[in-house]
Chain A
Amino acid sequence: MHKLRLKFSKNGPIKFIGHLDVMRYFQKAIRRAEIDVKYSEGFSPHQVISFAQPLSVGATSDGEYMDMTVNSMISTEDIKNRLNEFMNEGIEIISVVELGDSAEKAMTAAYAAKYKIRFRQSLKPDFDWISEFKKYLDNDKLPAMKKTKSGEKEIDMKPMIFSCECDEADESVTLLLSMSSMATLKPSLLFGGFMNSKGLELDNNALDIHRIDIYRLCEDGDKSYIEPFITDDISTRFYLNV
């Protein structure tokens, strides 16, 4: 038995497929590719697969993750190739790695996510939003009302923003935001706060969100850093302030 983690992209029209439907899509693709996936016990067995954080409908990504347990395989490379043979264009398996037995599920191991964010052309603010956004982030506190199961509560978004890079020419900002079971900051909440600070409301569909990757927390001696789930590039590491 092998526990595997797959990294995949989601681009093009496929971005309109909701999270549950992406899961159903993968279940069928795994069958088409005749992967020897492990099934749960019981009267209606299901594949042992699970996904990291859902991506909102309309967002694209180059860093989605799925965990999958297989009974047997030739190699992780073979799993990747076989699945890619049966993927729709727009979804591509980027890499497959084998996890240790004690590895946390992708869902629980997630700590942060990196996004590239633009405004959709027809819903773009009519002011220089990038420089205004930079100023907004300079505030000591970024209060926002976050919806919870029991209602709304006020939170401070500031500590949940790890980094921000602005690209004026590209009219985009790249943000590394907290995304864990403890604290998740959605781009829409942050930009909602930003627009409110300008006395405006954020249109639900205004943001063109691209997820670049999902990060996990690692320890390096007494220092903590985060890095993408699957990476062999040390430059992607991001050290957290201690």
Chain B
Amino acid sequence: MNYNLALSDETLLSIEKPERYIGNEVNSVYKDKNAVDIRFAMCFPDVYEIGMSHLGIQILYGLFNSYEDVWCERVYSPWTDMDKVLRDKDIPLFALESQEPIRNFDFLGFTIQYEMCYTNILQVLDLSKIPLLAADRTWDDPIVVGGGPCTYNPEPITDFFDFFYIGEGETRYREIFDLYKKARKDGVSRQEFLRQLSHIPGMYVPSLYNVEYNDDFTIKSMKPIYDDVPETVKKEMCTDLSKEFYPTKPVVPYIKITQDRVVLEVMRGCIRGCRFCQAGQLYKPLREKDVEYLKQHAIESLKNTGYEEISLSSLSSSDYSKLPELLDFLIEECNDKKVNISLPSLRIDAFSLDVMSKVQDVKKSSLTFAPEAGTQRMRDVINKGLTEEDILRGSHEAFLGGWNKVKLYFMLGLPTETDEDILGIGDIANKVAVEYFETMPKEKRNGRTIDIVASTSFFVPKPFTPFQWAPMNTKEEFLDKANKTRKGIMSQLNQKHIKYNWHEADASMMEGILARGDRRLNKVILKAYESGCIYDAWGEYFHFDVWMKIFDECGIDPFFYTTRERADDEIFPWDILNCGVTKSFLLREWKNALAGKPSSNCRLGCLGCGAASYGVGVCTEGKNNA
């Protein structure tokens, strides 16, 4: 417990939700700062309720604090009201536990989960009074490190980071801390420390690489500036998740957060090669956790937190091979303890419906299908192995089981998309309604009816996916497609049972620019922040017009990053990194996509993506290795 808060009572009472800034939550870790060698501030650059919901930080927080010589604390983006208070009163941003300025720490780590948080990173640095540019920092400043999915193309934010940790955090931090302690003891320069750090696998020190561009601004070359710095940086990965640290005493917040429950991570990676999905490629190969380990962790975590809900986490929990055993165990255990089980989107089939009916109020819950596209042709292009028949059969069984709410998720702007694919969205939604009326004759409906929500998001091509070569739609094309989708739904016989939602096109375009951006974007992001952009991920604070004006001022064409068709042999900004899957595999998949050819999943047949080089997980199950 820390009674010495950084802010006065008057200040805390003048802002929204003071609980965001006072720390002292159950299971938060307090140490004697004089008894540790390394102080690490871990940041999720968004508001507390979002950041506290992130599993990765809970893992690293627990792991780092398990080291006697390290004290890891948390910091989140101050909300806009607190941002103003800190600036007006000139109070440096502080960590939640010690309530001490971040600038006094040895490390400041950011988990970078989405592109739209980039200006929030600058906000945290700025409020901490840490120079925004890594080049301006000295040993008086923390080492600023980034990790998480966006660091698989960190090029737009290289100026702001001392280094990026590429891959899963469990593997190399101990080594990093030891190197840091030695460097400080030996009195080596910050630059020398970073150079030594670059020798540790997975560590990307952007200042040690030089990028040359062609006249058309595509990349000519990216080379290390010293011989001893590796030419490419390969993703770090846990080889046996059942032996890794997992937090069974996660920090439990006072206020309600987005993910307000025990999160049980059952596996990492995914066997399904959906071609639009970045996570599916980044976390390959699929590695399951031992079911006995999971049972034990579930019980310990519930006991240590007092949470009344537990949720399974993975990219596709239906693919967990011991799912029935795990769920049986949890249902029995949780029933006794009056704990709710929240199921992730399971593939809808007889098994999942049976499980769902045991743990949810059928009348209140809805079925979720993510066909992602309106026709089988389009689904073959994106390699989404869900057919119309699957959806209708699943719906049929669910309707018999008492469900009558269905959510359908689609994407607009996928490569090769035609009007037929767009109109197919309304078609599927209508067929689900028809299935309901046929399955449930009037006398069985008890006055209820079918309720369908179809949602579309705009497709954003991401690095390290087969679609990294794909041109992205313009805002106008997106809105036109959303309009066609709406009209398509309106023309259906059962249109009054179908609600349609679509996303903002501006935010998608911005995400698209940043996702496949290069180092030239650093100055754009810096200028956007200086012009007042923060919380871009929050619609009400996102100012697309300001961003576009800055692109103009910087003389950078934003469409270079989005709508441009990329050549097969173009050097991408992220090619300096190696996420395990090879570029030749991704190109092969891109060609298959354009030819409308679906591919197998990892369990049915290896595609030779390259991830087998790690020699773990599904790659070693021995099913027809390519």
Chain A: residues with CB nearer than 8 A to chain B?
12-14, 16-18, 21, 24-25, 27-32, 34, 39, 43-45, 57-58, 86, 88-90, 120, 122-123, 204-205, 208
Contacts and interface: CB of A to CB of B under 8 A. Distances in A.
A28 B308 CA distance: 7
25 contacts: A12-B24, A13-B1, A13-B22, A13-B24, A16-B13, A16-B19, A17-B254, A18-B255, A21-B256, A24-B254, A25-B26, A25-B254, A28-B26, A28-B306, A28-B307, A29-B306, A31-B306, A31-B307, A31-B308, A32-B305, A43-B361, A88-B26, A120-B9, A122-B8, A123-B10
Given A13-B3, A31-B306, A90 B18 contact: no
Interface of B is mostly: loop
Contacts of B19: 16-18, 21
B13 A122 contact: no
Nearest to B13: A205
Given A17-B19, A21-B254, A43-B361, A90 B8 contact: no
Interface of B: 1-3, 5, 8-10, 12-14, 18-19, 22-26, 252, 254-256, 302-308, 337-338, 340, 361
Contacts of A122: 8, 10
B338 A39 contact: yes
Contacts of B13: 16, 57-58, 204-205
B14 A27 contact: no
A82 to B, nearest CB: 13
A224 B306 CA distance: 43
A87 B19 CA distance: 17
Given A16-B12, A16-B19, A45 B338 contact: yes
Nearest to A86: B306
Contact of A24 (B8, B9, B256): B256
A80 B9 CA distance: 30
A17 B338 CA distance: 25
A89 B1 contact: yes
Given A16-B18, A28-B26, A21 B9 contact: no
B247 to A, nearest CB: 16
B10 A120 contact: yes
Sorted nearest first, the 6 A-B pairs with minimum C-beta distance are A28-B306, A89-B1, A31-B306, A205-B13, A32-B306, A16-B18
A186 to B, nearest CB: 16
A86 B130 CA distance: 38
A88 B306 CA distance: 13
Residue among A88, A122, A208 facing the most chain B CB atoms (10 A cut-off): A88
B22 A16 contact: yes
B22 A21 contact: no
A12 B338 contact: no
Contact of B18 (A24, A57, A86): A57
Given A13-B22, A205-B13, A28 B305 contact: yes
A21 B255 contact: yes
B164 to A, nearest CB: 35
Contact of B5 (A13, A27, A86, A208): A13
Given A31-B308, A32-B303, A58 B254 contact: no
Contacts of A30: 306
A18 B1 CA distance: 18
B22 A205 contact: no
B305 A14 contact: no
A123 B8 CA distance: 12
B363 to A, nearest CB: 9
A211 to B, nearest CB: 16
Contacts of A88: 1, 24-26
A122 B59 CA distance: 41
B306 to A, nearest CB: 3
Given A13-B23, A16-B22, A120-B10, A32 B2 contact: no
Contacts of B9: 58, 120, 205, 208
A12 to B, nearest CB: 5
Q: Which of B9, B22, B307 has the most chain A CB atoms closer than 10 A to its own CB?
A: B9
Nearest to B305: A28
A30 B305 CA distance: 10
Contacts of A34: 303
Contacts of B307: 28, 31
Nearest to B14: A205
A39 B23 CA distance: 30
A44 B360 CA distance: 9
Contacts of B24: 12-14, 88-90
Nearest to B339: A31
Contacts of B306: 27-32, 86
A81 to B, nearest CB: 17
A32 B306 CA distance: 5
A27 B338 contact: no
